[in-house]
Structure 1
Amino acid sequence: MKKNRTGFQSTLEKSPKKHSGVQLMETFFEFNDLATTKELLNTIMNYAVKRNSWIKEDPSVVYHFHQAMRSFVRAGYFLILREKKCKVNTQLEDVSPLALGLLTEKEYQNPLLVFKKAFREYSIKEFDYFISGMVYFSLGIYDNLPERNMISPYIHLTKMLDAAYLIIERKNIKPALQSREILPAKK
């Protein structure tokens, strides 16, 4: 008689089906709103650096956020691995500074630059360590603060969220423009 063992590894690792970074980001934004995600990231970060307070959110919400951000970082890494297939360069028109967010004009034109720069400075493991530490320190009161710089990875994550949203937005606009037919004018 055979013993059936349950595998506890992620099904994403075992799956023979290849996932693209854009598909994973679309899934991320289906379940997480950009403004809400950035607000929760900011709140968790604020409570992580405070010594004598903890976040008022339900721990399950914070844990879900932790898992979602980890998958988002991996999606960004998949995106730069297969950047040849994904072209998101656009001409910069008259854009207000509010639309740019934290992105520079160059990053707004090509959002992949944000991911390249982030993964040049930090690896996936370092982003995981940062996200885990941020969540850990926001959920309780501790005497000591994190031993590493938390500001730089936080800025990278915020910029990556903006860039990913731009990529998804531009991807969705492109098919709509291609499907539009030019009808002859009525006389």
Structure 2
Amino acid sequence: MKKTGTDFESQYWTVSKKQSGLQLMETYFQLNDLAVSKERLNSIMSYAVRRNTWINEDPAVIFQFHQSMRSLVHACYLIMLKDRKWTVNTQLGDVSPLLLGLLSEKEYRNPLLVFKKAFREYSIREFDYFLSGMVYFSLGVYDNLPERNLVIPYIHLIKMLDAAHLILERRGKI
């Protein structure tokens, strides 16, 4: 008898060879706003490190956000592998500090540097583990706190959101 297994991996966030990183980024930003994504990631992070509190949002919304962030991380990795230049010739004085976000001047000029630095420090699996842990600890009350440092991957994710948005903005897709 042939064994059949159920594939619980959603087609929304799985990365196939046919999809490019840019297509995944476009899909992410069609479904999620940059400011809302940053705010949601911030609230998940803040509830994950607090004791005796949990996030008040619907768990289905948090799960959908978790899966879409996973997809964005995979898209950033695919773009980093292609190693294109997304530079722009602007002086820092021409750019509003609000547009920079957490990005440095070099990262603003070439957002690919954000992805290279993030994936030099952490693998895709580590980012997946971090996102899962953040969501897990934000949805319930637990006596123990996460065993790893959550701040550095969190900063990388915020920077990835800014860099991905900047790449799509420069392509004229947003």
Q: TM-score, normalised by structure 1?
A: 0.84
Answer yes or no: is 1:147 the counterpart of 2:147. Answer: yes
User: Following TM superposition, where does structure 1 have runs of at least 4 consecutive aligned residues deviating by more than 3 angstroms?
Assistant: 2-7, 9-13
User: For residue 35 of structure 2, what is the aligned residue in structure 1?
Assistant: 35
Matched-pair contact (CA < 8 Å) for 1:118–1:156: yes
1:43-122 matches, within 5 Å, as 43-83=43-83, 86-93=84-91, 94-122=94-122
What's the offset of the Cα at 1:75? 0.5
Q: Which entry has the higher C-alpha Rg, 1 or 2?
A: 1
Write out per-residue CA displacement over residues 61-88 of structure 1, whole angstroms, 9 at most, x where no aligned residue. Answer: 00001101111110010011112xx331
Answer yes or no: is 1:163 the counterpart of 2:163. Answer: yes
Write out per-residue CA displacement over residues 84-141 of structure 1, whole angstroms, 9 at most, x where no aligned residue. Answer: xx33111123112111110000000000000000000000000001000000000000
The residue type equivalent to 2:64 in the other structure is H
Matched-pair contact (CA < 8 Å) for 1:100–1:108: yes
Matched-pair contact (CA < 8 Å) for 1:92–1:105: no
The residue type equivalent to 1:27 in the other structure is T
Cα separation, 2, equivalents of 1:7 and 1:145: 33
Number of aligned residues: 168
What's the offset of the Cα at 1:19? 1.6
Give the match's secondary structure for 1:77: helix
Q: TM-score, normalised by structure 2?
A: 0.90
The range that moved more, 89-98 or 130-139, is: 89-98
Query: Which runs of 5 or more structure 2 residues have no equivalent in the other structure?
Result: none
Write out per-residue CA displacement over residues 138-175 of structure 1, whole angstroms, 9 at most, x where no aligned residue. Answer: 000000000000000000000000000000000117xx
Cα separation, 1, equivalents of 2:167 and 2:3: 43
Cα separation, 1, equivalents of 2:64 and 2:24: 16
Cα separation, 1, equivalents of 2:18 and 2:34: 26
The residue type equivalent to 1:91 in the other structure is N
The residue type equivalent to 2:90 in the other structure is L
The residue type equivalent to 1:160 in the other structure is M
Identity %: 65
